[in-house]
Amino acid sequence: MAKIQYDRLNVLTQTMNLFWQSGYHATSMQALFTVTGLKPGSVYLAFGNKESLFKMSVEHYTNNAVAELNRIFSEADSVGEAISLLLTSFVTNINTEDYVGCFLVKSQLELSNDCELKAYVQQQLKRIEQVYEVNLLSLYEEKDAKEKATSIMLHMFGICVYGYHSKNQNILMNTLHASLPWLPWHQE
């Protein structure tokens, strides 16, 4: 029997994009077979069922997001600048033609009635929040760093969800500036 050759990361990226665009419930196994180009037996053998493939896709997304956050924090002149740049990029992204918000935020909202998958997505969101918290600890005491990290996540969620409703970047940026005055916002 011939061994099926595939690039695991490529498959996870393809399935992540499909789940991200369509949502967990609207994504069928047939759609997953189609997007990956793999036969059903290969998908089940390598990745398990739809739920396990979704979890792997969510983890893949989170790993990439954490790596990108760490890169931005390491390259920025300050923690505050990194956070300002990240939030500004969230606002800028709402006007892209294929805007889909944050995969984790979308999944958490969709899976509100599925306790196990929702809890898994929440764990991944916590990983992202911890990146903010760890970086903020270089400037603030633990309590303040935790509160500021929570505030960043709250604003990120808001931008990701509100971005479907309003594409007005000026209003969103003015709101961020007013609600997060401790960040070093660059005047455009």
Domain boundary assignment for the chain? 50-179
CATH 2.40.10.340 fits 50-179, yes or no: no
% of the chain surpassing 70 pLDDT:
96
Confidence band for 2, pLDDT divided at 50, 70 and 90: very low
Residue 4: what pLDDT? 56
Phi and psi (nearest 5°) for 7?
Answer: -95, 110
pLDDT 10s digits, 135-175? 999 999 999 999 999 999 999 999 988 888 878 889 999 99
- Please report where in the chains the tokens 């009635």 appear, as a residue: 113
Buried b (16+ CB within 10 A) or exposed e, 99-129: ebbbbbbbbbebbeeeeebbebbeebbeebb
147, 148, 153, 157 alpha-carbon torsion, rounded to 10° = 100
- % helix, strand, coil for the chain, step of 5: 70, 0, 30
How many other CB atoms are found less than 10 A from the CB of residue 184? 11
% of the chain surpassing 90 pLDDT:
78
Report the residue count for the chain: 188
Per-residue pLDDT, averaged over 82-111, amounts to 89
Confidence band for 3, pLDDT divided at 50, 70 and 90: low
Lowest mean pLDDT among 50-64, 94-108, 149-163: 94-108
pTM attached to this predicted model: 0.91
